[in-house]
Amino acid sequence: MTICVSVKVAEGLVLAADSAVMLSGKIKTPQSETEGIIQTFQYANKVTHFKDYPIGIMNWGSGSIGDRSIKSLIMEFEYGYPNKAKNKSYSVKAIADELLKFIKKRYDAAYPKEPKAPLGLFIGGYSANKFFPDEFMYEFPQGPTWGEVRPNMPDGRPSFGSNWFGQIDALVRLFKGYDLGSLEELIRRGVDKKIIEKWVQDAVSELLIIFNGMPLQDAIDYAEYAIQVVVGRFRFGFGPPLCGGDIDIAVVTPGNFEWAKRKLWAIKE
């Protein structure tokens, strides 16, 4: 499981994620064969720089397809993809479509029938000769194609703000001021559903964050804080630690992809 955060501001796009991953599959014992979590790793790479493009990819949900990690599949896809210098009219959407076709072929082969493992993909960055980034997301097993994240406003101006993917319940509680379980319980106890829906729609309890005019460093700090909130929720809350490990943070600007924070190879002593 995972928490991924994207933050789009005027100066660039920030992508962040934790590093914990749980692998599920069939466990064979002398008595029987059961489905369950077979391993938990703390050093998964869920933020990936796509080749030499100013584009990043994030993934959440299942940490692998068959015996391949999602990072490995992305690496294989980009291995045969042309460099940016040979693809001067590239677009984020075109790369996203080809990536999805590549991943989907392997996903469908690994999960020919129900139940299918949940897997989410995000791709964001700068198309050729565009100043503001494009963002798209897709969640297996449903959905015919990518959904656009933060499309431009009706007047053509970019929409700045943050989006969360994966284990987002703690962030919904903090920034939106409610959680779906509580709202459902209120309805069960007799509160008018229309009143609750209007309360949510009016963002009565929302913690207002100003993204318009936010400097890039503040966007980086916000992304790290959001990841830490979720990691802390799973560290101290009841249940297994579905999120954790190091936090990776990438910064994408027109023509550039840089790491603000990234775990390094190391021999643990």
Q: In a structure prediction context, what are the per-residue pLDDT tens digits for the chain, which is 269 residues long? A: 799 999 999 999 999 999 998 776 666 767 777 666 777 889 999 999 999 999 999 999 998 998 899 999 999 999 999 999 999 999 999 999 999 999 999 999 999 998 898 999 999 999 999 999 999 999 999 878 999 999 999 999 999 999 999 999 999 999 999 998 999 999 999 999 999 999 999 999 999 999 999 999 999 999 999 999 999 999 999 988 889 999 999 999 999 999 999 998 888 66
The C-alpha atoms of residue 254 and residue 35 are separated, in whole angstroms, by 45
At 26 the pLDDT is 67
| pLDDT per position as a tens digit, 151-187 | 999 999 999 999 999 999 999 999 999 998 999 999 9
Nearest Cα residue to 253 out of 130, 156, 165, 159: 130
Helices (H), 89-211: 92-110, 169-171, 180-188, 193-201
Q: Is 251 exposed, middle or buried (0-12, 13-18, 19+ CB in 10 A)?
A: buried
Residue with tokens 């002593």: 269
| pLDDT per position as a tens digit, 188-201 | 999 999 999 999 99
The C-alpha atoms of residue 17 and residue 19 are separated, in whole angstroms, by 7
Domain ranges of the chain: 3-26+35-167+215-261
The C-alpha atoms of residue 131 and residue 139 are separated, in whole angstroms, by 27
Whole-model pTM? Answer: 0.92
Q: What Rg do the C-alpha atoms of the chain give, in angstroms?
A: 20
100: Cβ–Cβ under 8 A, 6 or more apart, which residues? Answer: 121, 138, 145, 146
Tokens of 235: 């560290």
Pick the CATH number of 3-26+35-167+215-261 from 3.60.20.10, 3.40.47.10, 3.30.70.2860, 3.30.365.10: 3.60.20.10
268: Cβ–Cβ under 8 A, 6 or more apart, which residues? Answer: none
The C-alpha atoms of residue 47 and residue 57 are separated, in whole angstroms, by 6
233: Cβ–Cβ under 8 A, 6 or more apart, which residues? Answer: 169, 170, 243
